[in-house]
Homo-oligomer: A and B are copies of this chain.
Amino acid sequence: MPDLDIRKIRILQAIIDDYILTAAPVGSRTISKHPDIGLSSATIRNEMSDLEELGYLEQPHTSAGRVPSDKAYRLYVNSIMQKSRLSADEMQYIQRHFSNTLDEVERIVRQTAWVLSNITNYTSMVLKPQIHTVKLKHIQLVPVSEGKALLVIVTDAGITRDAIIRIPHDMDVTQLERLSHILTAKLTNSRLDNVSNVLIPELAAQIGEHREFLNAMLETVQRSMQPTGGNVELSGKTNILNYPEYNDIDKAKSFLAAIEEQDVLYKMLTDASKVEFSITIGNENNSTDMKDCSVVTATYKVGDVSMGSMGIIGPTRMDYSRVLAVLGYIGKSLSDILTNMFEEEHD
């Protein structure tokens, strides 16, 4: 930002730091007492006035202190803020809560969300590993009653999906078993989003027609792979109520309503899966309900491929630096665990 000299930046930083801590508009006197800044309050006032004119500060009303704008936070995270590192204690805390025997993806995701929200005191969300980026590993048809079977799909990331389907009445266990084998053989390692219709004739030939059934079944496979809405694990939903800016019941309500809109969060997180870290500040959010929030995300991987992402939702005055550090570290931990689960062992 060329329009700010070093002194203005330093003052702005002091303001932001203070505001992040106290959530109260900060006045010139507070800053003038700051050890690193040897200036009188009057000088600070002049500088603040400039900063306001440039759009970095806002005044709730004339006789109040000033509050950083979204633009200020943006500048802050882009240029001013320095990366912080987690303390050994914090790392240990995280490790301790990851160390238990975790063998189900569901459980791991839940645990991750829990740790995230507990260590940051914000609301956290974790996108479950996304199935459509992933290859099919096994299909099993399990009979559950006359004319019904459970279709179970397993992918290489250990995600399972299931659905009840009708089966022809003349199809017995052995046939289902055979069909499971054929399907598994045919579809293994194909990506689920291109289980295309060209397969059907081929399958029909092998299984002895039942075309409509095959059709219906493949359709179910396709549909099962759609995001179902249960794809985002949230934790610490009420944490935000502890921050003074959300003591207003209506703000709290709209925040809580916003995070109950799983679709929105889902979209945010899938978008965020493309970049290692992302920070979205206040009005930069698409949802107007979240215009007083910031969202920070990070991705996690299995091996080298990005599998999903996770994020922190908090007030715009959140401690970006720490949150980034936490997300980075936990992202790494999660990637390690998942990778370990699915890749061969090196021993």
Contacts and interface: CB of A to CB of B under 8 A. Distances in A.
Interface residues of A, number: 47
Interface stretch (A67-75, A135-143, A316-324): A135-143
A229 B165 CA distance: 28
B237 A103 contact: no
Nearest to A229: B110
Contacts of A229: 110
Nearest to A169: B345
B104 A342 contact: no
Contacts of A103: 163-165, 220
B142 A150 contact: no
A105 B150 CA distance: 11
Interface in A222-264: 224, 228-230, 237-238, 241, 247, 249, 252-253, 256-257, 260
Nearest to A236: B260
Interface stretch (A154-162, A189-197, A205-213, A267-275): A154-162
A106 interface: yes
A344 B167 CA distance: 11
Contacts of A249: 241, 247, 249, 252
Nearest to A347: B147
A227 B33 CA distance: 56
A228 B260 contact: no
